[in-house]
């Protein structure tokens, strides 16, 4: 199996074009090609903490993680290689941000899988650069153009909000359930009783809906929220503030940067990496949660009913129960006690 994702394999077909360029890699980076490709100098800007962890180990401070790039992150780059994500508003935010900082005349390469909608890059950037498709392989499109006019970028214009059950939810492009509370999270919330107490960790917090909803009817909980996504972290902080709540919000690849123990770990874990099905994040959460639960503490997650999590829960905790289910989702609870394996 190739060490490179399909988009990187297409970039490699043009590796000679980058030898003398100062390249900024950004977008949905899935592998370490930005650290391996021969260039005059390479930098990385990513919204995904786990991608930053992977790349910063080889690139040090030339790899940056955050919501909004600045001139220091761009440096003297004269070329952008952008990996198209599955979410079009996310791509638009990132590209407008990056192109507002890059010099006019810089080279732009955009690569992505056809099913992710990469072909819409031509229209999206029409006012700023003329893109042409220069290659098609591995079910990906590869586009090239030069920046003719830098876009104006106002980060405040990208914020949105919605209201649910008296809560104000702040959102950004790329955040899960950006336009409203998803049905899986609603089912999970329905299983919590008022006056819950203790330390609560929300893993994969998204816009912070689960934590805020829990805190509204259980004000004595102490909240910690974590996610790999820079816009999710920013949205969670804004959602807490909008609802007058306090909590610790931190970047973490599942539980990689979480410290301490909790009485409840809750999650609506993702089961996709890009457009590919991946259960690894949820499996890591289940396996490693026992290291972060107090005795008698619980892991409570919601998942599509067809996903094979019961076996992993029983393997780690000794048993589990289904608190609620509908035609699509199940809410699982597992208690850390004698049967759990550390």
Residue 131 shares a structural domain with residue 227: no
DSSP states of 255-291: TTT--S-EEEEEE----EETTEE--HHHHHHHHHHGG
55-82 average pLDDT score: 97
Last residue of a domain, one of 122, 138, 155: 155
Domain contains 216: yes
For residue 217, the model assigns a pLDDT of: 87
Q: Vertex 311, ends 306 and 312: CA angle to 5°?
A: 105
Domain contains 148: yes
Residue 129 shares a structural domain with residue 199: no
For residue 179, the model assigns a pLDDT of: 73
What is residue 152's DSSP assignment?
Answer: P
Question: For residue 252, what pLDDT band results from cuts at 50, 70 and 90?
Answer: very high
| Strands in 47-115 per DSSP E | 63-65, 79-83, 107-113
Residue 65 shares a structural domain with residue 129: yes
* Residue among 51, 105, 97 at smallest CA distance from 70: 97
pTM: 0.94
What is residue 147's DSSP assignment?
Answer: B
Residue 17 shares a structural domain with residue 115: yes
Last residue of a domain, one of 124, 155, 186: 155
Residues 183 and 154: beta-carbon distance below 8 Å: no
Residue 172 shares a structural domain with residue 120: no
Q: Which domain holds residue 198?
A: 159-336
Last residue of a domain, one of 130, 155, 180: 155
Residue 15 shares a structural domain with residue 145: yes
Residue 35 shares a structural domain with residue 142: yes
Question: Is 271 a residue whose pLDDT tops 90?
Answer: no
CA separation for the pair 225, 250 (Å, rounded)? 6
Domain contains 40: yes
What is the phi/psi pair of residue 39, to 5°? -140, 170
Domain contains 119: yes
Residue 173 shares a structural domain with residue 312: yes
Residue 201 shares a structural domain with residue 312: yes
Residue 165 shares a structural domain with residue 145: no
Residue 91 shares a structural domain with residue 239: no
For residue 270, the model assigns a pLDDT of: 75
186-204 average pLDDT score: 92
What is the phi/psi pair of residue 316, to 5°? -90, -45
Question: For residue 339, what pLDDT band results from cuts at 50, 70 and 90?
Answer: low
For residue 2, the model assigns a pLDDT of: 67
Domain total in the chain: 2
In this structure, of 50-59, 194-203, 268-277, 304-313, the range with the lowest mean pLDDT score is 268-277
Question: Is 238 a residue whose pLDDT tops 80?
Answer: yes
100-120 average pLDDT score: 97
212-219 average pLDDT score: 91
pLDDT digits (tens, 9 = 90+) for 76-107: 999 999 999 999 999 999 999 999 999 999 99
Domain contains 1: no
163-185 average pLDDT score: 88
What is residue 301's DSSP assignment?
Answer: E
In this structure, of 20-24, 146-150, 206-210, the range with the lowest mean pLDDT score is 206-210
Residue 325 shares a structural domain with residue 277: yes
294-317 average pLDDT score: 94
CATH number of the domain enclosing 219 = 3.40.50.150
């Amino acid at each position: 199996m190739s060490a490179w994702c399909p988009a990187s394999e297409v970039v490699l077909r043009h590796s000679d074009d980058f030898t003398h360029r100062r390249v900024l890699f950004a977008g949905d980076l899935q592998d370490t090609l930005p650290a391996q490709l021969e260039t005059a100098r390479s930098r990385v800007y990513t919204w995904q903490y786990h991608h930053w962890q992977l790349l910063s180990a080889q690139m040090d401070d030339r790899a940056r993680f955050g919501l909004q790039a600045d001139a220091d992150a761009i440096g003297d780059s004269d070329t952008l290689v952008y990996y198209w994500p599955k979410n079009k508003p996310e791509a638009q935010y990132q590209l407008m941000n990056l192109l507002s900082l890059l010099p006019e005349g810089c080279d732009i390469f955009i690569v992505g899988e056809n099913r992710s909608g990469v072909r819409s890059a031509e229209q999206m950037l029409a006012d700023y650069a003329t893109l042409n498709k220069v290659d098609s392989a591995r079910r990906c499109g590869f586009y090239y153009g030069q920046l003719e006019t830098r876009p104006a970028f106002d980060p405040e214009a990208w914020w949105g909000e919605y209201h649910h059950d008296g809560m104000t939810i702040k959102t950004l492009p790329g955040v899960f359930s950006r336009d409203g509370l998803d049905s899986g999270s609603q089912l999970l919330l329905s299983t919590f009783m008022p006056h819950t107490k203790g330390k609560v960790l929300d893993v994969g917090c998204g816009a912070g809906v689960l934590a805020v909803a829990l805190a509204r009817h259980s004000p004595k909980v102490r909240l910690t929220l974590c996610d790999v996504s820079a816009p999710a972290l920013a949205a969670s902080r804004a959602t807490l503030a909008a609802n007058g709540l306090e909590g610790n919000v931190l970047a973490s690849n599942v539980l990689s940067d979480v410290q301490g123990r909790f009485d409840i770990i809750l999650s609506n874990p993702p089961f996709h990496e890009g457009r590919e099905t991946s259960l690894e994040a949820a499996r890591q959460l289940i396996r490693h949660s026992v290291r972060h639960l107090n005795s008698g503490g619980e892991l409570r997650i919601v998942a599509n009913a067809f996903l094979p999590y019961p076996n992993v829960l029983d393997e780690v905790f000794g048993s589990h129960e289904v608190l609620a289910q509908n035609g699509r989702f199940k809410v699982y609870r597992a208690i850390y006690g004698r049967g759990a394996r550390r």
